[in-house]
């Protein structure tokens, strides 16, 4: 999910004023058929993680009118530092979700294993 993304530079260009510039990120993604509910669940977790950082003003997604499997997503931050901090927070949350999912899968696999199986 983070492939191709880079942290935004928080430094203003030479000669620019010292006021912070807002950041608006938008895009469109296609959702696989049957995965819309999972997308909603994952995007909800993403938006909650983003809003834990001050400076994040809006995070939302909505279905395209012509294609219900295409979703537009928008993030608005008051400045680049806030956006960078929120992305770092989301990366940490993503790692925690992946670890929890892995542990859950391992426990489920172990519960389904026969008593004669060796322990990992």
The count of domains in the chain is 1
Q: Which domain holds residue 98?
A: 23-112
d(CA 76, CA 56): 6
| 37 located within any domain | yes
Does the predicted TM-score (pTM) go above 0.85?
no
In CATH, what number is assigned to the domain containing residue 76?
3.30.70.100
What's the confidence (pLDDT) of residue 65? 94
In a domain? residue 98: yes
User: Model confidence over 23-65: pLDDT tens digits?
Assistant: 999 999 999 999 999 899 888 888 888 888 889 999 999 999 9
In whole angstroms, what is the distance from residue 109 CA to residue 86 CA? Answer: 34
Report yes or no on 117 lying in a domain.
no
10 assigned to some structural domain: no
């Amino acid at each position: 999910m983070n492939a191709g993304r880079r942290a935004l530079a928080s430094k203003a260009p030479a000669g620019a004023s010292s006021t912070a510039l807002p950041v608006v990120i938008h895009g469109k993604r296609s959702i696989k058929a049957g995965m819309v509910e999972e997308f909603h669940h994952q995007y909800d977790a993403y938006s909650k993680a983003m809003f834990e950082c001050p400076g994040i003003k809006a995070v939302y997604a909505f279905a395209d009118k012509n294609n219900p499997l295409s979703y537009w997503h928008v993030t608005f931050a008051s400045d680049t530092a806030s956006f960078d901090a929120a992305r770092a927070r989301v990366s940490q949350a993503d790692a925690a979700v992946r670890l929890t999912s892995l542990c859950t899968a391992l426990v489920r696999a172990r519960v389904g294993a026969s008593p004669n199986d060796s322990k990992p």
